[in-house]
Chains A and B, each alone.
Chain A
Amino acid sequence: MVSVEFLGPIQIDKKEFDVKSVRELKDELYKIPELEDWLISCAIAVNDKIIESLDTPLKDGDKVVLLPPVCGG
C-alpha cells in the first residue's frame, strides 16, 4: 500500500491506496469529491521528493504527500 497525506488546508485524513504509479493514484484521487477543487493546483512529493511525471512508479511503503498552493512568511 502507498500512504497519501494531504497537507496544509486540505481537510482530509491520511489514506492508503493500492496503486503502482502516480497516474493510477491520480485516478483514485479524482474519486474523492472533497479533493476535486485541490487536485489541479497541488504538487506531489514521493518519499519527500517533488516529482514532475505521472509515470513515476509507486511501490509498497512509499509515502506520497499532496502540497496545495503555498504562502509562507
Chain B
Amino acid sequence: MESGKLNNMVLEIYKGGVPVMDVLNRWYDEFKLEGYGAMIPFIGIVRPDNGIDGLSFDLYLPLLTKWFEKWQNLPDCKITMAHSFGDVMVGETSFLCAVYTKHRREGFKYLEEFVEDFKANAPIWKYDLKNGKRIFASDRAKPLPQSGILK
C-alpha cells in the first residue's frame, strides 16, 4: 500500500489487486462505532471481456488525492476508497470504495454520485492486458472536463 491516511482521509493505493476482504474488514472495524447505520461497499471486479487477461492502471497520486479530498467534507457521509496501479487480473478488484451514512437511502445516492464523479475526474488510466501486451483502453477513456484548452 502506497498511501494510507492523510488528514483522516482514507485513500489506499495498491500495486496489483486490492485485497478486498482485508480492507473491508479493517474499514468495518474502524468505523462501525462512529454512528453510521449503513456501510455500502462497492467492489469493482475485472471482467473477462474481449479475451483480456486483466487490466493495468497508471494513476497520478497528487491530483487523485486532491480530487478525493473534495469528498471528505460531506456533513452526513463518509467515503473511503482503495485503487490499484499496475496489473490487476480477471476476477481481481481494482477499485473498492465504501460509503457510510446514517441510513441506507442517502448512502446509495452518495455512492452513485461518487462513482460517477470518480469515472469522470479521477486521474487514472486503464489498459487492457492481452497476449502479453498492455494496450491503452482508449474506447473507454473520457477527456477530463477541463480538457481542450490546447485546441
A residues apposed to B, CB below 8 Å: 7-9, 22, 26, 29, 39-45, 48-54, 65, 67-73
Contact = CB atoms under 8 A, between A and B. Distances in A.
B95 interface: yes
Interface string B125-149: 1110000000011101111111111
A70 B63 contact: no
B144 A71 contact: no
Interface of B: 44, 57-60, 62-63, 66, 83, 94-95, 115, 118-127, 136-138, 140-151
A52 B146 contact: yes
24 contacts: A7-B60, A7-B125, A8-B125, A9-B138, A29-B150, A41-B147, A43-B144, A44-B150, A50-B146, A51-B146, A53-B149, A65-B60, A67-B63, A67-B147, A69-B142, A69-B143, A69-B144, A70-B120, A70-B122, A70-B141, A71-B140, A71-B142, A72-B124, A73-B124
B82 to A, nearest CB: 12
Contacts, number: 103
Interface residue SS majority, chain A: loop
B67 to A, nearest CB: 10
Contact of B118 (A40, A42, A72): A72
A27 B128 CA distance: 33
Contact of A70 (B62, B83, B144, B149): B144
A72 B144 CA distance: 12
A25 to B, nearest CB: 9
A54 B119 contact: no
A41 B123 CA distance: 14
Nearest to B125: A8
